[in-house]
Amino acid sequence: MNEYWAHPSAIVDEGASIGEGTKVWHFSHISTKASIGSSCSLGQNVYVAPNVEIGNGVKIQNNVSVYEGVVLEDYVFCGPSMVFTNVRTPRSAFPRNTSEDYRATIVKYGASIGANATVVCGTTIGEWALVAAGAVVNRDVPPYAMVAGVPARQIGWVCQCGITLAFRNQRATCPECGRKYEVIEETVRIAKEV
């Protein structure tokens, strides 16, 4: 049985797919052909366009528009008023508003995007990455990377739990949860037990 909850002011178009336990709050609009997983939370005034794919356990805070071409994998966090774009060169006089015009944006498993950040289309944000509030992401973000600024630049690495990692000799242990990490060829991953 597919049971989700939507506030009476929310609009859920026929043909939208919403998973069990998902909550859609005030004044949100879920378009036809949008696919939203289970146990998600979509805050007030969230727009989900047609053909958007949203995984399980995703949290989208207030005032976020998720446009066609965006894929949010499981457990992604989108902070309040963050922005996705889907056309690189928008022009009113030369409309680019078909699926072929959109550039894909993928936010991988467990990644977090801070309040008022902007994600320019055609980018991939890696697993467990953290985009700081107000950052403008205009290039791919590696897994576990922490980025900030305009344009966004990498300023460190983060644990799955969100705590900053301090590497020494290519290894780090999270001071909060104890997960161990290693750097292999400039990529962070969970350390293999020896």
How far is the C-alpha of 73 from the C-alpha of 177, rounded, in Å?
23
Give 87-90's long-range contacts (Cβ < 8 A, gap of 24+): 87/121, 88/120, 88/121, 88/122
Half-sphere exposure of 85 (CA within 13 A, CB side): 16
Residue 84 lies in a domain: yes
Task: Name the more confident of 66 and 101.
Answer: 66
- Angstrom CA distances, 39 to 49, 147, 153, 164, stand at 19, 27, 32, 27
Percent of the chain with pLDDT over 70: 97
Establish if 53 belongs to a structural domain. Answer: yes
Which structure tokens are listed for 65? 């528009």
- Residue 59 domain-assigned (yes or no): yes
Q: Is residue 107 part of a domain?
A: yes
pLDDT of residue 86 exceeding 90, the answer is no
* Domain coverage including residue 153: 5-89+97-162
Residues contacting 65, CB < 8 A, separation 6+: 46, 47, 49, 83, 84
Rounded Cα gap, residues 19 and 113, in angstroms: 22
**Residue 102 forms part of a structural domain:** yes
Give per-residue pLDDT as tens, 88-103.
Answer: 788 888 887 777 778 8
Amino acid letter, 93: A
- DSSP string covering 24-36, please? E-TT-EE-TT-EE
Residue 192 lies in a domain: no
Which amino acid type is present at position 12? V
Q: Is 99 helix (H, G, I), strand (E, B) or coil?
A: helix
pLDDT: which is higher, 145 or 103: 145
Q: Which of 57, 54, 88, 84 is nearest to 71 (CA)?
A: 54
> Is it true that the peptide bond before 151 is cis, omega within 30 degrees of 0?
yes
Confidence of residue 2 (pLDDT cuts 50, 70, 90): low
Q: What is the pLDDT of residues 100-139, one digit of tens each?
A: 778 899 999 999 999 999 999 999 999 999 999 999 999 9
Asked whether residue 1 carries a pLDDT value surpassing 70, the answer given is no
CATH of the domain at 125: 2.160.10.10
In whole angstroms, what is the distance from residue 164 CA to residue 159 CA?
Answer: 6
More confident site: 150 or 186: 150
Domain count, the chain: 1
Domain membership flag for residue 178: no
Question: How does the average pLDDT of the chain come out, rounded?
Answer: 95
Residue 11: inside a domain, yes or no?
yes
